[in-house]
Amino acid sequence: MNNTSNKSFADIKAEDKASLLVEVLPYIRLWSGKTIVVKYGGNAIGDELSLSRFAEDIVLMHSVGIKPVVVHGGGPQIGLLMKRLGKEPKFQDGLRVTDAETLDIARMVLMGNVNRKIVSTINIHGPLAVGLSGEDAGLILAAATNKELGFVGQVENVNPNILNRLLASDLIPVVATIGSDTQGQAYNINADSVASAIASALGASKLVFLTNIEGLRKDIDDPKSLISTLSACELQQLIENGSIVGGMIPKVQACLKALDGGVGQVHILDGTIPHSLLLELLTEIGIGTMITHAN
């Protein structure tokens, strides 16, 4: 399967097409009717071609009966606009310090730019996608992380009613990671945390993190040491022995929290690879890392 991932379907020999379809069919049957949350990271959101391929994957999933929910970030895009506006981004412990002006920029980028692009690209294939943020219909109740970070929030609660209503109407929710507190104050929230919380609230069968790395490695410096499958306990051990460091720690913590919240399986894979989502979900070997509750 991986050897043909860069070819068009028309380029594949007839016998290989048949083998491919036979391999895919059991996975379509397995996941049809199930909810799968896909976190589309800001680092994975590339050019128009990459976004188009992602949209094709989401639409194909929907077409075979899977219920996808897209949760997206936009950190690099926020930072780019801040610099264009002459505002220097500041970080503390890996989190963006967010004053009122930075919050306005984040809302502008996430809802006015990134969310619109994803929704409109999916909707090229039909009237399927609906864009919303955590502020809509009380989806994400947020609270401040700490005063030094300003309007950086954490998820207090997810009310999945609006998502369930959209899914019941055969639509694809596309969620930007802005939440609000009980007084209506908005907060920018880490997209990994939001995706984990939404997947748990929906009782999703899978949560998939699309990023710009191929998955987890036994040796962070050796690309050949990619881990195909591991358990939550084994993942915790990798954190403790130092195999997972830096910015990956919050992501794997979100993975573990999702599993604790009842999500069936969690995947980490490189969203910059064409159709990586389909390769991971609908083939036997996959191309990333799958984390399960146990061996």
Q: What is the 3-state secondary structure (H, E, C) of 7-72?
A: CCHHHCCHHHHHHHHHHHHHHHHHHCCCEEEEEECCCCCCCHHHHHHHHHHHHHHHHCCCEEEEEE
Residue 140: the pLDDT is 98
**pLDDT per residue as tens digits for the range 232-251:** 999 988 888 877 877 788 88
Q: What domains, with CATH codes, occur in the chain?
A: 21-292 (3.40.1160.10)
The answer to whether residues 178 and 138 touch, using CB atoms and an 8 Å cutoff, is no
Helix and strand element counts for the chain (H, E): 10, 14
Q: Measure the CA–CA gap between 196 and 199, rounded to whole angstroms.
A: 5
As given in the structure block, the two tokens for residue 81 are: 């606009």
Eight-state DSSP code of residue 263: -
Q: Measure the CA–CA gap between 69 and 198, rounded to whole angstroms.
A: 9
Active site residue 251: yes
Distances from the Cα of 142 to the Cαs of 111, 134, 153, in angstroms? Answer: 17, 9, 6
Which position among 41, 73, 74, 75 bears the catalytic label? 75
Which position among 192, 206, 257, 261 bears the catalytic label? 192
Highest mean pLDDT among 9-18, 38-47, 51-60, 80-89: 51-60
Eight-state DSSP code of residue 98: B
Active site residue 222: no
User: What SS3 class is residue 105?
Assistant: helix
Which position among 42, 134, 153, 179 bears the catalytic label? 42
Q: Which residues contact 233 (CB under 8 A, 6 or more apart)?
A: 294
Which position among 67, 117, 206, 251 bears the catalytic label? 251
**pLDDT per residue as tens digits for the range 93-124:** 667 889 999 999 999 999 999 999 999 999 99
Q: Measure the CA–CA gap between 126 and 105, rounded to whole angstroms.
A: 30
* pTM attached to this predicted model: 0.90
Active site residue 67: no
**pLDDT per residue as tens digits for the range 140-191:** 999 998 888 999 999 999 999 999 999 999 999 999 999 999 999 999 999 9
